[in-house]
Structure 1
Amino acid sequence: MSVKLKKLNEQVIVLTGATSGIGLATARAAAEAGAKLVLAARDGDALDTLAHEMRQRGADVATVAADVGDPADVARIGKAAIDKFGRVDTWINDAGVSVFGKNEEVALEDMQRVMQTNLWGVVNGSLEAVRLLKAHGGGALINIGSEASDRSIPLQGTYSASKHAVKAFTESLRMEVEKDEAAISVTLIKPAGIDTPFAQHAKNYMKQEPTLPPPVYAPELVAKTILYAAENPERDLFVGGRAKAVSMGAQLMPRVLDKLMNATVFRQQQSDKPSSPNRRDALHDPVPEQELRQRGNLSPNPAETNLYTSLQFHSGATKTVLLGGALLAAAWAFTRKPGRKVWPA
């Protein structure tokens, strides 16, 4: 079945993980575009502050304090959308957490928390979304994966496992929805490293403060991609040429990529700043002072635009040719030596 999606200013959008990073950037951009919003996150006070900000600008917003790992909480999100607006047009599963450290050193309870949020949060949200979308005329389901959906990263083993699982679940659900001929677009977004408070929110087992390998992209670029998928049915979208290059490398030369990551990524995920013994993280509970921040200052110059990402918004043969050229540029940059100017894509 051909899926036709509404323009943003005609939509009711549900968004989890709304008070930080990619979710916060997406919420603000969607409100600016005129969408009606149902925003969910664990910190109710942060949600209230964000909703007040948006209402001051004329947005129509409902909020739900919820842990997406709890199916009952996710059901409350869906109920809030129906009670307030009568339908859902787009559901975005964005909430996510991580742990930095060697797999042998990370506590099992911390691994389980990552999976509860990143995988089961997506499962819970997706099933609720499909139920509501089928009942109210269809729409878009958008799940936030990662470049780690296609290629695991050392020192973030459980995060990588969760994002692999998100990809697998999303692909399976997409086929089932298509088989049912439901008017639902199911999209997986795969960002590269994004300049959000992700590293500060993560639990850390390393001696140094965690960070992300370059290049680091602006969260607004992910928000733009998400909202594009809310209006245009797409199967997969990458954010950052690096994400696509890593995905291709995982398919075509996995062992070479192993060696390249061993040589670079361990160092690139550890900053020059020692990790404090009193360091707070948002793995199990939100940290109020860390909320309502879009950026994490992981790079002095995060990429605000990206050629490969933008070219995905084209159509037809032109898109194929342009994406191929951008991918070659990204792959070339990915193999360049550290310390030299890289990452043109």
Structure 2
Amino acid sequence: MPRELQNRTVVITGASAGVGRSAVHRFARGGAKIGLIARDKDALNDVKDEIERLGGRGFVMPADVAHADQVFAAADAIAEHFGPIDVWINDAMVTVFSPVWDLTPDEFRRVTEVTYLGVVHGTMAALRHMRPRNRGTIIQVGSALAFRGIPLQAAYCGSKHAIRGFTNSLRTELIHTGSRINVTIVELPAVNTPQFDWARTHRTHQPRPVPPVVQPEVIADTLYRAALQPAREYWIGASTLAVVLGNMLAPGLFDRYLARTTFNGQETGTPVAPYRKDNLLEPVRDLHRTRGSFGSESSNSAIVVRGTVARLAPVIACGAALLMLGRIARPLPPRRALRRRYD
């Protein structure tokens, strides 16, 4: 396999599981030296061992991205160990599955501090190291939910919306100064990661991703591509295109569709265990893996739209509208059918 990033320094937050861990594997195969940031040191050491088995080099820096000082210190240590930072990927996130009225202010704040401010802190740390050299690439791991909020994830959706606003502002500032630093947002569909096994929930049944679902390796491949070929945005998956452009065409209709389908659509038929652990405040130490529990329905491929989609928007919008209308016309499966399917 080509090692296009041989001896380049790449930093990945949220590196202990899910998309972040999968991205670590992909960048290790590309020859990168990888700085690993997440809360759980033991899990990061496991990831470091995986990097070395792939012939790469890793450096562990435990940090909670909600705390800027920890992120800045991690960036300094990684740069000192490996040399100048070439690529920084902001991937860390947490969420809570709950209606707004059942969330506490502290829960909402925590999701925002990790999922949004963690990106801000990571970007600031990257800029401190990239601006003196006037080079580097920052990649924000976004979501289709940055364009369209859905029920039960208001804090997460709000954070993903905020990432777009922050990144757009930063991009204009870099353009104004003639900077050669690249900033890319990669917008994700539903991904089969452990987040659904360890995210906090106030619902009665175990969370699940809204289909269609892709494997995290699909995202990792796109992140690797974005590092080699920076563009303004990457959109992954037909569902992301449908969500973004469908919401542009008929937001009110989309409100009603989501209200009708995505409460049950984000739950399995399995009740939440009484002593289920979640990772909102502390890591869940026995669930750090790349994939989640929905592999049987997850795809190993997805369409990817790179750069500005303005020229494709009319065609894609028509397709998205037809897809949405087709889905809206279908009757909602009864909860009993969902329980049989996902048990």
Query: Under a length normalisation based on structure 1, what TM-score does the superposition of the two structures give?
Result: 0.90
Structure 1 residue 164 corresponds to structure 2 residue 168: no
Of residues 298, 301, 304 in structure 1, which corresponds to 2:300?
A: 304
Say which SS state the counterpart of residue 61 (structure 1) adopts: strand
Say which SS state the counterpart of residue 186 (structure 2) adopts: strand
For 1:168 and 1:104, locate their aligned partners in 2 and report how far apart those are by CA, in whole Å.
26
Contact 2:246 2:317 (8 Å CA) reproduced: no
Equivalent pairs: percent with the same residue?
32
For 1:181 and 1:211, locate their aligned partners in 2 and report how far apart those are by CA, in whole Å.
44
Matches within 5 A, 1:275-290: 275-290=272-287
Q: CA deviation at 1:137?
A: 3.9
RMSD, aligned α-carbons: 2.1
Contact 1:38 1:80 (8 Å CA) reproduced: no
**Residue aligning to 2:41:** 44
Contact 1:241 1:326 (8 Å CA) reproduced: no
Structure 1 residue 139 corresponds to structure 2 residue 136: yes
Of residues 10, 15, 28 in structure 1, which corresponds to 2:12?
A: 15
Contact 1:96 1:118 (8 Å CA) reproduced: yes
Q: CA deviation at 1:135?
A: 1.8
Say which SS state the counterpart of residue 300 (structure 1) adopts: helix
Gaps of 5+ in 1: 1-5, 341-345
For 2:65 and 2:43, locate their aligned partners in 1 and report how far apart those are by CA, in whole Å.
16
Contact 2:10 2:87 (8 Å CA) reproduced: yes
Cα pair distance change 1:302/1:72, threshold 3 Å: same
**Residue aligning to 2:269:** 272
Cα pair distance change 1:169/1:182, threshold 3 Å: same
Q: CA deviation at 1:271?
A: 0.8
Contact 1:149 1:164 (8 Å CA) reproduced: yes
The one-letter code of the counterpart of 2:26 is A
Say which SS state the counterpart of residue 288 (structure 1) adopts: coil
Say which SS state the counterpart of residue 19 (structure 1) adopts: coil
**Residue aligning to 2:322:** 332
Matches within 5 A, 1:86-101: 86-101=83-98
Cα pair distance change 1:133/1:14, threshold 3 Å: same
Structure 1 residue 180 corresponds to structure 2 residue 180: no
The one-letter code of the counterpart of 1:302 is S
For 2:259 and 2:294, locate their aligned partners in 1 and report how far apart those are by CA, in whole Å.
21
For 2:219 and 2:48, locate their aligned partners in 1 and report how far apart those are by CA, in whole Å.
21
Query: Under a length normalisation based on structure 2, what TM-score does the superposition of the two structures give?
Result: 0.90
Structure 1 residue 211 corresponds to structure 2 residue 208: yes
Say which SS state the counterpart of residue 111 (structure 1) adopts: helix
For 2:321 and 2:4, locate their aligned partners in 1 and report how far apart those are by CA, in whole Å.
35
Of residues 237, 252, 256 in structure 2, which corresponds to 1:255?
A: 252
The one-letter code of the counterpart of 1:243 is T
For 2:86 and 2:122, locate their aligned partners in 1 and report how far apart those are by CA, in whole Å.
14
Deviation digits for residues 161-217 of structure 1 (CA, Å, limit 9, x no counterpart): 111111111111111111111111111111011111111121000011111111011
Contact 2:214 2:300 (8 Å CA) reproduced: yes
Deviation digits for residues 86-122 of structure 1 (CA, Å, limit 9, x no counterpart): 2011000000000001100011111111011011101
For 2:322 and 2:221, locate their aligned partners in 1 and report how far apart those are by CA, in whole Å.
26
Contact 2:242 2:324 (8 Å CA) reproduced: yes
Structure 1 residue 294 corresponds to structure 2 residue 294: no
Gaps of 5+ in 2: 333-343
Q: CA deviation at 1:327?
A: 6.0
Deviation digits for residues 251-292 of structure 1 (CA, Å, limit 9, x no counterpart): 22110100111121111011100111211111111011011x
